Amino acid sequence: QKEVEQNSGPLSVPEGAIASLNCTYSDRGSQSFFWYRQYSGKSPELIMFIYSNGDKEDGRFTAQLNKASQYVSLLIRDSQPSDSATYLCAVKRVGDYKLSFGAGTTVTVRA
């Protein structure tokens, strides 16, 4: 079992719709969770991080964490063509220095 797994994608959504991305992780000791966006040919850039159970909102983005079920999700509301990218989920375990990444989910927003 991979440490971090994401929807295989690709995910295609119409402009203005909600894109929902899911990520599950295997280690219950994980404490920090991050979502990165990566445009084609570019480096990953941080969108959001979440440490506590529940929802965290930042503009059109909402991260949701459920440690009991070991999943973290990202919702993109009012999706725009500029949101078309690959989204990477990353998890950091307690006492560990490194991040573990999922393989990413590619999102395409149709105009």
Partner 1 sequence: NAGVTQTPKFQVLKTGQSMTLQCAQDMNHNSMYWYRQDPGMGLRLIYYSASEGTTDKGEVPNGYNVSRLNKREFSLRLESAAPSQTSVYFCATQGTGPAFFGQGTRLTVV
Residues that bind partner 1 (CB under 8 A): 34, 42-46, 49, 88, 90, 97-99, 101-104
- DSSP code string of 54-86: EEEEETTEEEEEETTTTEEEEEESS--GGG-EE
Count of other CB atoms within 10 angstroms of residue 90: 21
Q: Nearer to partner 1 by C-beta: 69 or 95?
A: 95
Q: How far is the CB of 45 from partner 1 (least distance, A)?
A: 7
- Considering the complex, what minimum distance in angstroms separates the CB of residue 14 from partner 1? 26
Which is nearer to partner 1, 21 or 102 (by Cβ)? 102
Of 8 and 18, nearer to partner 1 (C-beta) is: 8
SS3 94: coil
For 17, the enclosing helix (H) or strand (E) is none
* Minimal distance, residue 25 CB to partner 1, in Å: 14
Give the nearer residue to partner 1 in terms of CB position, either 17 or 108. 108
In our burial notation (b when 16+ CB lie closer than 10 A, e otherwise), range 68-79 reads eeebbbbbbeeb
